[in-house]
Structure 1
Amino acid sequence: MAMTDTTMRAVQFDRAGGPEVLQLRDVPVPAPAAGQVLVRVHAASVNPRDVMSRRTRFGRFPRGTGMDYAGEVVEAGPGGAGDLRPGQPVWGYFGPVRTATGAAADYLVVGREQVAAAPAGLDAVSAAALPTVGTTALQALRDHLRLRPGHRLLVVGAAGGVGGVTVQLGRAMGAHVTAVAGASNADFCRELGADRVLDYDSAEPDGLEPRFDALVDCHGAAPRRYQRLLRRGGRGVEIAVRAFPFALRSWLVGPRVGLLISRPRRRDMEELAGYVDRGALRPVVEQVYPLTAVQDAHRAVESGHARGKRVLDLTR
C-alpha cells in the first residue's frame, strides 16, 4: 500500500481541562522508525483513563488522546514488521498517551508489541472497543487472580467496559460469575454470562454466602465492603482508572486486594483474539461517534454511566 498522505486529522489539547480543550487539527503523518508500524486508524475507543489523562496538568503539550484502536497496516519502519503486512487488519493498545498524537488520529505509529492481527469477523468499530478493557480483564483474571475452573468470581461494576469483558472471560475460564450492577443492567449482565446478578442498591454483600475465590472491583467504590466476601486465601484486584495516589490506594484496598494498571502486550492481544474467534468474547459498543464529536464522547465517558464502550469511527 503506497503512502500518499502527508497530513492527517488528530485530536490534541494544549492544556488540562474539560472536554472543551480537545481540538481537531491537521498535523503531519508520522513516519515509523525501526521496530515500529504505521497504522491507518479506522476506529478508536474512549476510556476513563483518557479522561484522567486529559485532566492531568503534568507532561508536555500539545498532547493527543486515545489508547486503543483498530485499523490496517500501512508500512513498517526499517527492519520490517515480522508477520504483519500492508493492508492487514490490526488492533492494539499502547497505554496512556504522553505524545502529541494518540489513537484519535487518522494515522498512528506504534511499536510491534502494541499491535496484533485483529480478530476475524469483527468490523473496526467493534474491534476498537476491546483492546484496553480486554487486556485489563485478561491480566486481572489470568495473572493477578489466577482464576481456575470452578472458582467463584465476584465482579463489581459488571456492566461497564472492563466489567462486561471480565464477566465474559470469567465464564469462558470456567468460573461461577456473580455480577454487581445497577438494576437496569441485570438482564444485560446475564446475557454476558453472569450466573447471578446483584443490585448495587439492594444487595447486602456482608450476608452473601459462599465466600468468593476472586474479586474484580471495576469501580473501587467500597473495596473493603467487598473484600470481606473473599474466602480465606482468596484474591482481589481493583482496576486503576482514577487520579489517586497509588500508594495510598494500595493501602486502602487492603492486603488481599491489589491495584491493577494494565500493560500492553502483543501476546495478550493474540489471546483475546482467540476468545473472540471462538465466540467466547464479544465487544459491547454503547454508542459510536464521528471524530468531530470527540468532545461529546468524552462527556459521555466522564458521566460514569456506561453499558459497554464509546467508540470513535474515523471513517465517518
Structure 2
Amino acid sequence: MSIITQALKKAQHEQRLQQSPQAQYGTLMPWRPKAPGQPSSRRFSGLIVAGVGLLCGVGIVTYVALSVPGSLPVAMTVPTTPQPAPEPDLPPASSSPAPRSQVLKRVQPESLPPMSPPHRTDMAIAKAVAPPPPPAPVQTARAEPEMSPAEKRARAQQQLDSGIEAYHAGAVDEAEVALQQAIALDPTLKRAFNRLGNLYYQRDAYQKALAMYQKALALDPDYIEARNNLGNTYMQLDMSDQAILELNKAILVDGESGLTYYNMACVYARTQEPEKAIHYLEQAIAREPEARQWAKTDTDFTDVRSMSAFQKLLGTSS
C-alpha cells in the first residue's frame, strides 16, 4: 500500500472521529466538561489536519519526482561540488623552447613563440595556430653606376700598374688578381695579357702562359715582346720547331732585339746545332752586351760550352 493511500485513510478516520465522537464510539467516549487549563480538542484537531496535509504534500512531491525522467529524488537534492570532466591525454610539455626557424638571408628579430592554450575542462581543446609572419622584404644590392668606356680603360690601366708593382715586389697572388681585373675592365689591354703570361711562365705553368701570349698576339700580331715570349715558351715545352718559327717572326718585326737572338741561340744549342747556336749568340751579344753574362751560367749551352769558338766568344779561353 502506498504512502499516499495510507495518509488519505488516516485523514478520513481522524475526520470521522472529529465530527461525531459519540456516534463513533458510543458509551466508550462519554462527554466530560473541559477542565480549566486543558487544551481544546479543536486545536488538537487542527494540528492533526496540518500534519496530514504535510504528509500529503511530501507524498505528491515524491510521486512527481519518480514519474518525471531525469529528475532527482527529494532526498538527494543536497548540493555537491560538480566533478570536472576528465581531460584528454595531452603530450607532456617540453621544457626546452621551440626551435627557431633558420634565418636564410636577412636577420630579423624573431617573434615570441605562441603561448600554449589556456586550461579547459571540456573534452575538445582547440590548438592555437599562430598566423605565419609576413615575408621579409627582399633587398636587392644597389647597382653601381655604369662606367664609361674611358673610365674603364683608365681603371684597367691602374690595375695593370698595380699588378706590375706587386709582381716586382714578390706578391705574385696579388699581382695575378690585379692583372685579371685589368683584363676584365679592358679585354683589349695586350700588356695585361703579356704580363699575366710572364707570371704563369715564372710558375712553370707553361700552358697557361702560352694561352696568354697568344691572346696578346691576337690583339697585336707585331707585339714583339709577346712574340719573343711565345717562342721561349715553346722552347720550354720542347717544341723546337714552333719556337724557331715564332722567334723568326719576332726578328722580322724587330731585328734589333738582342733577347730574341739570344733565345734563338738557346734553341739551336738544345737541338745540337752548335754553329747556329754560336752565330745567334754572337748577334745577341752585339745587340745586348749583357747576353755574354747570361750565357756563362745558362744550362742551355752545356753541350757547346767546351767549344773553343764559344769560349772565345765569352772571353773565357786561355
Q: TM-score range by the shorter chain?
A: under 0.3
Largest Rg, 1 or 2: 2
Greater relative contact order (CA < 8 Å, ≥ 6 in sequence): 1
Calculate the TM-score normalised by the size of structure 1.
0.21
Q: Which has the higher helix share?
A: 2
**Under a length normalisation based on structure 2, what TM-score does the superposition of the two structures give?**
0.21
From the two aligned structures, give the one with the greater strand fraction.
Answer: 1
